[in-house]
A and B are shown apart, each in its own frame.
Chain A
Amino acid sequence: MRDLYARFGGGLATIFLSLVLVWLAAMVLAPNLMMIDYALRPNLPPAQIGGPQDLWSADNFLYLANEGVHRAIFFKTVWASALVAAVTLVVCYPIAFWMAQRATPGQLSIALMLVIIPFFINEVLRTLAWFILLAYRGPLNAVLQGIGLIDAPIRWQGDGGVLAGMVYAYILFMLLPIYNAIESLDKSQIEAARDLGSPTWRTHWRIVIPHAKAGIATGCVFTFMLAAGSYVAPALLGSPGSRWFTEIIYNWFFEGGDWNRGAAYALTLLVLCLAVVLVTLRVFRVNLTDVAK
């Protein structure tokens, strides 16, 4: 603090500090505290707010725990997000390895450009692209029928569609951290392993993957978090049978009209995501400073 004033002088340092404090207090801290407060109170008509019934309780959380459908959707969102992270990892790992260890500089710059371009494009538009591709009378069904692989169109919308759209949406968040991690691996280690007779899979299992551990953890954590908090993909690519937890939260706010319960659900989602992030980072000994790049 003293350094800040010494460096910039009283006026500027005060301006900087107050800007940062307003941001942290009014935009980061206060909304979250208010959300916790909301989550702990019952949903009352305006006249009774602040009255004798307006007490803190865990009722809204208990409601989620006891309501079978919502609870099932919550757990489904958790494991489906983990599945999204796992599939994205499997899809990206070979590409990341190739980019980091095998590609020539020319190939690498083309590859980087090719993976980054789609991610400059809006998530809603990317999901729209999948919506069109997977439509009942859409191109994918037409092609599959054309080559005789299927007899009747398949209804892709639902769990499969959501999975495809989400993996697509989060590739870059997985690819770049893993690429960065593998890039720092000395090529001679891989050569040494091969010269000593190690088969390819074991070289990956014993040398590349342990080296890239931090990158893999970072990619998985981010993909999981983005998937669990996603709204577009399940809303556009899902079906009534594949509802996502964020859709339930949305309904509490704009259809059910119970903001308190919605706040409790949102808080549950937040705690889940933070817990997954922090536990994974701790387990893989990744520093938060390295994550947010």
Chain B
Amino acid sequence: MTPDRIFRGLFVLYLLAFVAYLFMPLIIMGAAAFNTSRFPTVIPWQGTTLDWFSAMWADAAMWRALWTSAIVAFFVVLVALPVGTAAALVLTTLHSRARSFAYAVMVSPLLTPGVVIGISTLILWRQVGIGGGIALIVVAQTTFIICYVMLMVMARLQRFDRTQEEAALGLGASRLMVFRRVLLPFLRPALLASGGLAILQSVENYNTTLFVRGFETPLTVFIATKVRTGLTPAVNALALVIIAVTVIGAVAYEIARRRQLSARPRS
């Protein structure tokens, strides 16, 4: 055996260990949802059951938490999409000097720790008598989710051919019409993608939400509280359902994207 082969063998082992590191915790967490044991684990296996799924389904607090997260995500998308798109358009139209400064300001929420965004939002709105709650969760989350929308729209704008706008103007379209009929349809894929990302970011956020939640309990807070105050495999069942939904959603999105790319190879 040459040293090269030994090295290659070691690397394959490392690769396998890495994949195991990525998936083992998730597999164990998922499998524990089917174990009869009251504490979620896979060893010892006390019997296979689906009871934890019905326990999860019957948990009214879980449904309230899901509802809270859904409302928050709805309003986050409602605010973040238009503002993020506007930010991308303003930024791409600016000239180079002002542009790099504006860019730094506009991505700064991404460089700010999530807890700090939550805290500063909480402090500001207390001045006008608004405490933690759904409204503040929406405000705090949109602050940085706008950045993601902006970056995704900007990426798409880079491939936009401005002559299309000029052509439409030359043919007598109003500026509003050019925006609605030329630019917006072009941005549609980026808007859909960033809408999906915004929902995902909103529902899964914990660090920022924790500080502005007031007495509300969104899904992530619900799960984290359960872990500390009474973890049963019902939480694992919930986790497994969430994972299934996210992974299916991501795969469906990817398939749709590829299909669109292959349908219009020269778009």
Contacts and interface: CB of A to CB of B under 8 A. Distances in A.
A16 B90 contact: yes
Contact of A118 (B23, B93, B95, B146): B23
A135 B116 contact: no
A232 to B, nearest CB: 5
Interface residues of A, number: 83
Interface in A134-177: 135, 137-139, 142-143, 168, 171
B239 interface: yes
B247 interface: yes
Contact of A15 (B15, B19, B86, B122): B86
Interface string B13-34: 0110011011111101100100
Contacts, number: 229
Given A120-B250, A232-B207, A246-B115, A24 B100 contact: no
A24 B106 contact: yes
Question: Main SS of the interface on chain A?
Answer: helix
Contacts of A56: none
Nearest to A200: B7
B100 A289 contact: yes
B223 A128 contact: yes
Contact of A27 (B22, B40, B139): B139
B123 interface: yes
Interface string B87-130: 10110011100001001111111111111110111111001000
A132 B167 CA distance: 61
B83 interface: yes
B36 interface: no
Nearest to A230: B207
A158 B207 CA distance: 20
Nearest to A232: B206
A219 B56 CA distance: 38
Given A7-B165, A124-B223, A128-B239, A23 B18 contact: no
B143 interface: yes
B52 interface: no
SS class of chain B's interface: helix, strand, loop or mixed?
helix
B26 A123 contact: no
Given A91-B18, A143-B43, A121 B26 contact: yes
Given A19-B82, A125-B243, A236-B228, A130 B25 contact: yes
B68 interface: no
A124 B32 contact: no
A35 B125 CA distance: 11
A284 B223 CA distance: 40
Nearest to A293: B151
Contacts of B86: 15-17, 19-20
Given A3-B93, A8-B179, A235-B224, A121 B246 contact: yes
Interface string A239-272: 0000000100110010000010011001101100
Contacts of B82: 19
Interface in B178-231: 179, 200, 203-204, 206-207, 210-211, 220, 223-224, 227-228, 231
Given A118-B22, A293-B151, 19 more contacts: A3-B95, A19-B87, A31-B120, A35-B120, A95-B15, A116-B250, A118-B23, A121-B242, A128-B236, A128-B239, A130-B25, A132-B29, A132-B32, A133-B28, A168-B25, A225-B113, A230-B207, A249-B119, A253-B119
